[in-house]
Structure 1
Amino acid sequence: MLILLSVCTLIIVLATVLPLVRITHWSVRGLDFPRLQILFLASALAIAHLLFPTSESVAALVMLAATLICVVVQLCWVLPYTPFWRKEVKIAPLASGNSSLSVITSNVLKTNRNSAALIALVKEYKPDILVTLETDAWWEEQLSVLEPAMPHTVKCPLDNLYGMHVYSKLPFIKQELAFLVEEDVPSVHVTVSLQCGSKVRLHCLHPAPPSPTENAESTERDTELLVVAKRVAQTQGPIVVTGDLNDVAWSTTTRLFRKISGLLDPRVGRGMFNTFHAGYFFLRWPLDHLFHSEHFTLKKMQRLPSIGSDHFSLYTELVFSPKAGADQDGVDSTQADKERAGEIVNAAEAEVSVSDVPS
């Protein structure tokens, strides 16, 4: 029992400490994802230490203390994404009128052929904008039935899991397809005109993840997120960033993205809205995101039913209410945060700068 508890304690400590180190290898960055699962395992381990005391030695007490510290550390990361935390984004005024903006963000899984399920969701929820990820030519053909109601489109069908399509009821004032960091990983950048006449800048992203089958390091993903964050920080007016960022809401990278961009996360104080993995309830985390500027308040956010993908779709309805949202605060950046963001972008092999992000 002593050996078993010792090994389990070592694993929990490593899983908690390693993500705090600035190592970009996928094996370390991947530990950012299952913080909720690690929290549960660490809690169970702490209970095991109490129920099955191996001895009254200093070593046993140290293991218990180390496990409890891991519980606290993991809790600090995930607690903001529960109803026990103060809401970062205000509830929208009841009279939203023609100032609302609703978005469905959906990673369809390229090999999934249940297009009817996604089309049914779009018809039921009637979003102003649909952003699809991993969509190829087959998906483009299937989703063409949406175009009579959503005639404004940006299409980039690809067979490499990074295809992207944007369908909109609202007109585009400006639209651009960009390949910021990797030549086969696109992003879409559009300016949308709301019914009330206000213009909103929308950035749709799907950077490649750090993984044994993709990029060994997180550098490419982190770089794309941070150059967009820097561009957002230079942009005046309402902004929305959405997509599958291949990073979790509570990671150091996403937190740095929020600090640099100044955008708000409507999940804070409301819930995790875990969108991946749809097939395993015990292995889920928030992988699909929508961040926005203080010009918006939140009317509704909902994880939608399964469409056969490994991701659930995410529905978000915002209301353009700059007066009501003027005093909303996200996470503040420091000079050290700005320097760290610069280091990450400069360390990328791809020569990318803020000027490459469409404005």
Structure 2
Amino acid sequence: MFRTREIAGRAGGTAGFVRVVVVSVGGAATAVTALPLIPNNEWWIRIWDFPRIQVAVVLLLVLVTAPFVMPLQRRGSAAFMGLVVLAIGWQAYKIAPYTPFHQTEAEAARLCKMDSRLRLLVINVVARNKDGAPILAISKRAGPDLLLLVETDRWWDRRLEPLKSSYPHVISHPQDNGYGLHLFSRFELVEPNVRLLIEDDVPSIKAGVRLPSGALIDFYGLHPKPPPIQDTAEREAELLIVGREVRELRPPLSPAT
């Protein structure tokens, strides 16, 4: 009898521990789902706009596990499960626009002449990465007309030298702080400029691009600091500055004059 009670006590203790873990993890995942709803630029709030898939997976695991360790007939358990379901629904709603199931915001052009087309490739090389071969291989395979690389430093500046044989127009601005930029273009760059809009160590690129048709388009290349590094007020200010410029400039595609 005592042995049976001992085993039952251990089982109950294990179940209780698992229940505490499930509730703690589910509560934390629900909390970080709600945090981005706060209109605040603090980094520890805005960072949760990014790992939505990961948080959604954690919530799903909690939803599957909870019925086995919680008495669902209790109001507290039912309320907890309801909050988890709501959090999953909200994360799914925020993830949906980035899936193939969501309607695209920009309609595909029905007809675009070859000399008015532009192929663009953007690559984040990752500052700590020192293997340039895959980047060069991807660039060669994709064959873009415009190639923007971010987080490039002086090592990458030397490593990207072979690209200049295919791209006669180049803007090189290597930096060792993870915010360097390189732009390679097959087409003429008109009034290319490296700008420091908000901070002295975070550059951005603005340039006109002359297409083979003679049309001139505007190109902006940015790499703002992510939330884990700082609050997002300055980051969003940079995006807003460029957004307002784009709105006030000529149409996206204008005939040559």
Q: TM-score range by the shorter chain?
A: 0.7 to 0.9
Partner of 1:110: 127
Preserved contact between residue 129 and residue 166 of structure 1 (Cα < 8 Å):
yes
2:114 is the counterpart of 1:100: no
Partner of 1:135: 152
2:184 is the counterpart of 1:167: yes
Show CA shifts across 1:125-164 (max 9, x none). Answer: 2110111112122222222222122111111111111111
1:50, distance to aligned residue in structure 2 (A): 3.1
After TM superposition, list the pairs within 5 Å mapping 1:175-186 onto structure 2.
Answer: 175-186=192-203
From 63, 66, 80, give the equivalent of 1:49.
66
Is there any run of 5+ residues in structure 2 with no aligned partner, and where? 1-15
Show CA shifts across 1:147-205 (max 9, x none). Answer: 12211111111111111111100001221110011101100000001112221100000
1:121, distance to aligned residue in structure 2 (A): 1.9
Partner of 1:18: 35
From 184, 197, 222, give the equivalent of 1:205.
222
From 232, 236, 258, give the equivalent of 2:246.
232
From 202, 216, 223, give the equivalent of 2:237.
223
1:123, distance to aligned residue in structure 2 (A): 1.9
User: In 2, Cα distance between the equivalents of 1:109 and 1:42?
Assistant: 30
Q: Which amino acid in structure 2 is aligned with residue 174 of structure 1?
A: E
After TM superposition, list the pairs within 5 Å mapping 1:255-266 onto structure 2.
Answer: none
1:92, distance to aligned residue in structure 2 (A): 4.2
2:18 is the counterpart of 1:4: no
In proportion to residue count, which structure has more helix? 2
User: In 2, Cα distance between the equivalents of 1:179 and 1:193?
Assistant: 24
**Greater RCO between the two (CA within 8 Å, min separation 6)?**
1
Partner of 2:80: 63
2:140 is the counterpart of 1:126: no
User: In 2, Cα distance between the equivalents of 1:74 and 1:8?
Assistant: 16
Q: Which amino acid in structure 2 is aligned with residue 175 of structure 1?
A: P
After TM superposition, list the pairs within 5 Å mapping 1:186-335 onto structure 2.
Answer: 186-211=203-228, 214-215=229-230, 217-238=231-252
From 50, 59, 69, give the equivalent of 1:33.
50
Partner of 2:13: none
User: In 2, Cα distance between the equivalents of 1:9 and 1:146?
Assistant: 49
User: In 1, Cα distance between the equivalents of 2:82 and 2:133?
Assistant: 52
Larger Rg: 2
Say which SS state the counterpart of residue 114 (structure 2) adopts.
coil
User: In 1, Cα distance between the equivalents of 2:215 and 2:101?
Assistant: 34
Gap change, CA 1:64 and 1:200, over 3 Å in 2: same
User: In 1, Cα distance between the equivalents of 2:72 and 2:140?
Assistant: 62
2:165 is the counterpart of 1:148: yes
User: In 2, Cα distance between the equivalents of 1:8 and 1:114?
Assistant: 38
Gap change, CA 1:190 and 1:48, over 3 Å in 2: same
Preserved contact between residue 156 and residue 163 of structure 1 (Cα < 8 Å):
yes
Normalised by the size of structure 2, how large is the TM-score?
0.85
User: In 1, Cα distance between the equivalents of 2:46 and 2:160?
Assistant: 35
Cα RMSD (Å): 1.9
Partner of 1:88: 105
Once the two structures are aligned, what percentage of the paired residues are identical?
29
Normalised by the size of structure 1, how large is the TM-score?
0.62
Is there any run of 5+ residues in structure 1 with no aligned partner, and where? 239-294, 296-319, 321-359
